[in-house]
Structure 1
Amino acid sequence: MKRFVRRAVALALPLALPAALAAAPARADAPGDWRLVAAEAFNRSLDDARAPWVRDDDGPGSPYDVDVYDNDGAFFETMGGPAFRQQLATFDTYRKSFRFGAKGWLTAELAARDSDKDGVPDAPPTLTTRKGVAHMDEPSHHGGVLIRSSRALPAEYRVEMTLRGLDFGGQRNGSWDYPDGRINGYSPEGCKTNHPWASGGDFSRPECSWANVRTDSNGFYYLGIMDYARPAPHNNVFVHTHRKVAMDSYNRYKYTGSGLRVCNPATKQYEPYGSSTGNGVNAIFMTDDKRYATQPGTEYLMHSECGVAKGGAIVSQVDLRPELLPEQSYRFAIERRDGAYTMEMSGVFAHVGQQTYRYTRKFVQDGEPIWHYNQTPEEYDGRFDADWTWSGPGGTLVDRGTWPAGSAYPDTFMIGDPHMNFYEGSAQVDDVRLYVPGKR
């Protein structure tokens, strides 16, 4: 039996802001009593081609090594046995990372595969600016691209972004199958599967025999708060164990099951997923319970105009109207203040038109904590600690101390696609802003 004890999370220093930014004036529509301290309008040239691709072999020597759910993690060795290592050896992973914005307060993280191991990443993602907007382009689901805060966020903050374009799946003109041949935003060429990361099954099968992601789901993270210092693209299992709160899309191709539902904010009634256009926003507070009995992932707490739900079907709070972009934009924001997190979304939504919705939840409310909410050891007493045990062809793995007393987890935001075995498309992002409390 393998035992893994989680390393104490280093207390990352909070984002240090230069004097010029700390004195930045609030814009005319600054929310409430927040004070703007950092902003990126993407008016300066940004091109990831200026940064080199570097091969990342994972493992303890990698800056992207975090825990047993990493791309080369013990969880996958446990669930897949020797076949997992054989599959992982069929390609190399390349990454690039660079800071930008005033005093480097933002960081870009990109990742891609090199399937033929010729030293050149295959169909890599890109991050560039054009006409004052950041363009995130990801031509293959084997890659990932995101923007994150370079350092941990302060104890209280508001972070926001503006969405000006989105093409990561969902229906277009009433169809999941696009006129250009794409399927839910995915290219029609070749097989597209979740290889080589899964929570079970036959790890020895050929890549094209793994789960088909093209006819499963596509998506994008509008804004999320992660619980470790260096968010970057990883496998989807890893991502699902490290979110505190997040607003994302989860666009299921022609889905008719009971695992998703949408809230109609006009009627305040839940409706089947099929009644939507598949362009929903899922605003989720993560909690300590395991969502799945046989695979990693924290349970969901979902507030909407239809009520509050724990677990069960994933709730979309609103349905976006991508056809209105970029003339009509959307704004997403997350706040941490007064012992609570708030998620906010603004824009023109289906059924209701222009609206702003805000959902707030205390760090611990009705006995349910927000996963890894504590930035310092003093904020938490260890009451929600647990061991997670996994068994498979590779033996038994015990992930001990998933939330022990004395632990601390920095808040770091991310925007983009953090999955290296799901999702492909493009998005346009603008006006990333950070606020801290002003005078009350």
Structure 2
Amino acid sequence: MKRSWKAAIAAAGATAMTTASVAWPAPAGNASGNGTGANASGKGRWVLLDAEDFDRPLRVDGAPWRLDPQGKRSPWNVDAFDDDGEAWTRMSGPLFKKQMATLNVYRKRVAFGRKGWLTAEVAAVDKDHDGRPDSRPGLSTVTLPGGQRAARLSEPSWDAGVLIRPTRPLPRHYRVEMTLRGIDFGGKRNGTFDYDGRHNGYTKEPCKTRFPWTFTGALPGKSRCQYHDVTRENGFYYMTILDYATPAPHGNPDIHFRRKVIMDGYYSDLPRWKHAATCNPKTRKMYRTFDGTFNGVNALFARGDKFIGGPDNNISTEYYAKTACGNASLDKHYGPGKRFEGHLTSAELQPQLLPKASYRFAVERDDTGYTLEMSGPFRFIGQATLRVHHDFVEHGRPIWHYNQTPGEYDGRFDRRLVHKGPHGTWVTRHTWPKGSAYPDSFVIGDPHLNYYEGEAVIDDIRLYVPRKDR
């Protein structure tokens, strides 16, 4: 099967660029009906602060690679759960350091856009220690069929990552949005995961595993190729807000304690998701995700009061989903007869309509909480705008690390977490203490160094602030 959006872009050739006009949110009439009323966006509410239409050539791919020195002095150091973090060593002993020594990580950090307001973070693994990355992920300029330019985010191998983030943290109140014109990070096409010589978006070479990062550190007695095969799990972050200023690709577990709100695609047919559900926004009824196309969008709010995997191995915050079919915390059964559990996906995209069609993903933060919005030609309903809002604390349920300043939070949800591995235990003594503060930073792309493979086309990225805040 031909990838229609790729073929269309290739056929377009180099033509004159046309700048897209400011796209205001559509009326909320097609919204999910869950908390959208007072927060429904309007044309007069927002003022454009920064915009990137990719009309100038990107210079990311030509930038030199830098060896990540790892450790606390690394420019990409985050916390105990990043690439060589202390948590993994504590849980798995010297074996983790031995496994980390089998690879190097090379990186690029390139600012672009007006006054450098955006940053591309690109990373790739060097497993044979030849002094260069094993693949060539990147971000480059491409011309769409209408003549306008866009950004092609390319990740030809799973052992790499590419994302776009703001160079500086987001303001207190904002609307940030991006327009998607192409997506090929897995999911089904024409009813099958196998197309274009790939499976679920992955090329079919052997030994594509999550080595060396797991939620418990190194796996004793397991070689690189005996780790979990990742090719049944692919995905893409359309617009997700993290709780620190400088996101970059890291091992898969790192991001699971850093997300505030999430709009992503996760395309997996693993047995543990056999009871997951997807919402049909037209009928407002759920159906089995396994009966769909595996092109869904998850619109999730990370919970600050519940964690997955406890009490001895907390691996992530819990999530809360709001959809046209109802709301659900992912640790509970939901739906008619309580027959669904796990992921509750908001709607399914139709990738075959790209690049002629487009999808817009946006996150808004105001005085009350966060609003997630997606617009485009969704399966079953066609062109629509879906919006859901969650207060910072709603019915006693907080959004994880919502406070950008210490004064926005009083410490009530602080707790102790235990992370147990085969060699030892790492304890997070304070997950969310009084006096803490967490900036907002968005990510678009793939933040994982040991998962996901594919490419996407992004037409524009825009940042708005309320008119009164300008």
Matches within 5 A, 1:398-413: 398-413=427-442
Q: Which amino acid in structure 2 is aligned with residue 187 of structure 1?
A: T
Q: Determine if contact 1:84/1:203 at 8 Å carries over to the other structure.
A: no
Aligned to 1:20: none
1:114 to 126, 143, 148: 126
> SS of the residue aligned with 1:48?
coil
Aligned to 2:389: 360
How far is the alpha carbon of 1:26 from its aligned partner?
A: 8.5
1:267 to 283, 287, 303: 283
Matches within 5 A, 1:130-145: 130-131=142-143, 132-145=149-162
Q: Which amino acid in structure 1 is aligned with residue 325 of structure 2?
A: C
| Percentage identity across paired residues of the two chains | 51
2:238 to 212, 218, 222: 222
TM-score, length basis structure 1? 0.91
Q: Which amino acid in structure 2 is aligned with residue 29 of structure 1?
A: W
Alignment of 1:286 with 2:298, yes or no, is no
Alignment of 1:125 with 2:142, yes or no, is no
Alignment of 1:380 with 2:409, yes or no, is yes
CA distance in 2, matches of 1:60, 1:241: 19
How far is the alpha carbon of 1:439 from its aligned partner?
A: 4.4
CA distance in 1, matches of 2:156, 2:266: 18
Aligned to 1:188: 204
Q: 1:119 to 1:282 in 2, by over 3 A?
A: same
Shifted more, 422-431 versus 44-53: the winner is 44-53
Matches within 5 A, 1:10-29: 27=22, 29=24
Q: Which amino acid in structure 1 is aligned with residue 291 of structure 2?
A: S
Q: Determine if contact 1:97/1:110 at 8 Å carries over to the other structure.
A: yes
1:55 to 55, 60, 67: 67
Deviations for 1:278-316, whole angstroms, at most 9, x for unmatched residues? 000001100121122224210001000011111231111
Structure 1, unpaired ranges of 5+:
1-24
Q: Determine if contact 2:91/2:426 at 8 Å carries over to the other structure.
A: no
CA distance in 1, matches of 2:275, 2:176: 30
CA distance in 2, matches of 1:68, 1:109: 20
Q: Which amino acid in structure 2 is aligned with residue 57 of structure 1?
A: P
TM-score, length basis structure 2? 0.85
Aligned to 2:337: none
How far is the alpha carbon of 1:78 from its aligned partner?
A: 2.8
Shifted more, 196-205 versus 419-428: the winner is 196-205
2:112 to 95, 100, 106: 100
Aligned to 1:301: 320
Deviations for 1:313-340, whole angstroms, at most 9, x for unmatched residues? 1111000000000000000000001221
Q: Determine if contact 1:125/1:137 at 8 Å carries over to the other structure.
A: yes
Alignment of 1:213 with 2:230, yes or no, is yes
Q: 1:28 to 1:265 in 2, by over 3 A?
A: closer
CA distance in 2, matches of 1:248, 1:430: 17
CA distance in 2, matches of 1:391, 1:29: 47
Q: Determine if contact 2:137/2:154 at 8 Å carries over to the other structure.
A: yes
> SS of the residue aligned with 2:257?
coil
CA distance in 2, matches of 1:389, 1:256: 24
Shifted more, 275-284 versus 55-64: the winner is 55-64
What is the Cα-based RMSD across aligned positions, in Å?
1.7
Tell me the matched-pair count: 414
> SS of the residue aligned with 1:374?
coil
1:322 to 348, 351, 360: 351
Shifted more, 169-178 versus 249-258: the winner is 249-258
Q: Determine if contact 1:349/1:355 at 8 Å carries over to the other structure.
A: yes
2:445 to 413, 416, 422: 416
Alignment of 1:166 with 2:183, yes or no, is yes
How far is the alpha carbon of 1:145 from its aligned partner?
A: 0.2
Aligned to 1:14: none
Deviations for 1:345-384, whole angstroms, at most 9, x for unmatched residues? 0000111111100000100000010000000000000000
Structure 2, unpaired ranges of 5+:
1-19, 26-40, 144-148, 332-341
CA distance in 2, matches of 1:76, 1:412: 25
Q: 1:58 to 1:142 in 2, by over 3 A?
A: same
Q: Determine if contact 1:78/1:390 at 8 Å carries over to the other structure.
A: no
How far is the alpha carbon of 1:35 from its aligned partner?
A: 0.5
1:147 to 143, 148, 164: 164
Deviations for 1:109-153, whole angstroms, at most 9, x for unmatched residues? 000011111111111211101221100000111100000000011
1:276 to 292, 296, 300: 292
Q: 1:233 to 1:257 in 2, by over 3 A?
A: closer
Q: Determine if contact 2:274/2:290 at 8 Å carries over to the other structure.
A: no
CA distance in 2, matches of 1:410, 1:28: 26
How far is the alpha carbon of 1:274 from its aligned partner?
A: 1.2
Q: Determine if contact 2:108/2:122 at 8 Å carries over to the other structure.
A: yes
